[in-house]
Amino acid sequence: MTLQGITEDEIANYLVHTPGFFERNAQLLASIQLTSPHGQRAVSLQERQMEMLRDKIRGLEKRIMDMIRLSQENEAIVERLHRWVRAVMLSHDDRALPDTLVETLRHEFLIPQVAVRVWSTPERALRPELADLPQAAEVSEDARSFAASLNQPYCGLNAGFEAGKWLEDSAHITSLALIPLHHGGACFGLLVLGSPDATRYTSDMGVDFLLQVGDVSSAALSRLLSA
Annotated domain spans of the chain: 2-51, 91-224
H or E element that contains 43:
strand 42-44
Residues present in the chain in total: 227
The per-residue pLDDT string of the chain (227 residues; one tens digit each, 9 = 90 and over) reads: 445 668 888 877 887 888 777 678 767 766 666 666 666 665 566 676 777 788 888 888 888 888 888 888 888 889 999 999 999 999 999 999 999 999 999 999 999 999 999 999 989 999 999 999 999 999 999 999 999 999 999 999 998 899 999 999 999 999 999 999 999 999 999 999 999 999 999 999 999 999 999 999 999 999 999 97
CATH fold of the domain at 91-224 = Beta-Lactamase (3.30.450)
**Residue 80 CB coordination number (10 Å):** 16
Q: Distance between CA 150 and CA 156 in Å, rounded?
A: 13
Structure letter (DSSP) for residue 186: E
In one letter, which amino acid is 225?
L
Q: Distance between CA 197 and CA 77 in Å, rounded?
A: 20
Taking a C-beta distance cutoff of 8 angstroms, is the pair 159, 133 a contact? no
**Residue 178 CB coordination number (10 Å):** 24
Longest dimension (CA), the chain: 95
Chain-centroid distance, C-alpha 224: 30
Chain-centroid distance, C-alpha 223: 29
Buried b (16+ CB within 10 A) or exposed e, 183-211: beeebbbbbbbbbeeeebbeeeeebeebe
